[in-house]
Chain A
Amino acid sequence: MTATVPATAALALGDDALVLSHRLGEWAGHAPVLEEEVALANIALDLLGQARVLLSMTGDEDELAYLREERAFRNLQLVEQPNGDFAHTIARQLYFSTYQHLLYAELAAQEGPFQPLAGKAVKEVAYHRDHAEQWTLRLGDGTGLSHDRMSRACDALWRFTGEMFQPIPGVDIDWAALETSWLASVTDVLGRATLTVPEGPRTGAWAAGAGRQGLHTESFGRMLAEMQHLHRSHPGASW
């Protein structure tokens, strides 16, 4: 089973989980209410657990997390985007958790190296997706201010969503069907939240997205510096 782990896929999926986990962890001490602080930290913890399993499939988890340079990370540009305001974080959660839930459901349903992890994680991510959907409804269909901010956040992150459906070598699923399901689900949630589906491009020259090839956005370097500096300054530190 583990004889043929596709390293590219393990890194791509593992880096998505690791990087988003770190971003969500940045909310600790800053979330709008205590319950939300706990919720975001718990989602981050689930993602960190998934990242540990995925990265360990292809190498030493600590070396991969703490000693790679920016260009060696294979995560989507979407997950590295700064937290922004709470609406931006929720828009990022909506786009990503819907994708991850659909993707893990596919991987859980087929024999392969990712089946055990996906079968477990799909149940965790169902709660992440529900959390994001409920907040999207509440903010979109809330006050004028919350509606405007949620709308701005959905628009701002839209151009990062096309990259999610670039096929990953070693992940043998119907990517076009995945994209169709994702679009239908996001359109449904945005509609119920009285928000409009953003109009900008999701793919092509005007869209973003080369994270899978190791090209990242400006803020990612600073995020990595913070994430890695302790281990680089004090190799093997523990407490």
Chain B
Amino acid sequence: MVTATALETELLELAGSVPDPELPVLTLHELGVVRAVHLTGTGAVEVDLTPTYTGCPAVETMRADIEQVLRTHGMREVTVRTVLSPAWSTDDITPEGRRKLQQSGIAPPRTQHSAGPVTLTLGPTRTGHAGEAETGTAPEAIRCPHCDSADTELLSRFSSTACKALRRCLACREPFDHFKEL
């Protein structure tokens, strides 16, 4: 039992070390999508993987990459199960993952710390400008990953992938992707 658990931990680390196919700077562990690894027999293992978005096309590649890594590590039979519940949230991205997103020019999602029903107020399109302070209801700003200015505005709710929005920095004028809160 003890050895199995140790092996499971090792396999979980291996599965988590696979790079994300669309954001290769992040590992699957940093993205928070590898949920668990269970040994189901000698050399047989089951991995629980949760998609970021229900229609995420990268899941197939993640599945294949995890299988390959675990097979290379001596597993004969690797089953990758897709689990939906509890639903993945951008809060599942690790602090290290957020730092790496920022470094590669993608503004990380703001943390939500909320459970329960999702409210529809997705916030104003512009953050960090002078007028906000007067209302006293300023949301946490989305900062430019290039110059760190908080004065940025939304250009499009959907960007190169469903999980990102396109924004522009009003200080340095550079456009950038923002990993949307989900």
Interface residues of A (CB under 8 A from B): 35-36, 38-39, 41-43, 45-50, 52-53, 101, 105, 108-109, 115-117, 119-124, 126-127, 129-131, 134
Contacts and interface: CB of A to CB of B under 8 A. Distances in A.
Contact of B56 (A39, A49, A101): A49
Contacts of B155: 35
Contacts of A134: 157
Nearest to B157: A131
Contact of A42 (B54, B87, B162): B162
A100 B161 CA distance: 22
A48 B162 CA distance: 12
A101 B54 contact: no
Closest 5 CB pairs of A and B: A49-B55, A49-B54, A116-B85, A35-B156, A39-B158
Given A39-B156, A124-B182, A119 B86 contact: yes
Contacts, number: 84
A35 B168 CA distance: 13
Given A46-B55, A109-B117, A120-B87, 12 more contacts: A36-B156, A38-B158, A45-B162, A49-B55, A52-B55, A53-B84, A105-B118, A119-B86, A120-B84, A122-B118, A123-B87, A126-B118
Interface of B: 51, 53-57, 83-89, 117-118, 120, 122, 155-162, 166, 180, 182
Contact of A131 (B54, B56, B88, B158): B158
Most B CB contacts (10 A, CB to CB) among A46, A108, A127, A130 go to A127
Given A43-B158, A105-B117, A129-B120, A35 B166 contact: yes
23 contacts: A35-B155, A36-B156, A38-B159, A38-B160, A42-B161, A49-B53, A50-B54, A52-B54, A52-B55, A53-B54, A108-B117, A116-B83, A116-B85, A120-B54, A120-B88, A121-B54, A122-B118, A123-B87, A123-B89, A124-B162, A127-B157, A127-B158, A130-B120
**Chain A binding surface SS class:** helix
Contacts of B51: 49
B120 A124 contact: no
A101 B120 contact: yes
Contact of B157 (A120, A122, A130): A130
A135 to B, nearest CB: 10
A126 B83 CA distance: 21
Given A123-B118, A129-B120, A47 B55 contact: yes
B122 A127 contact: yes
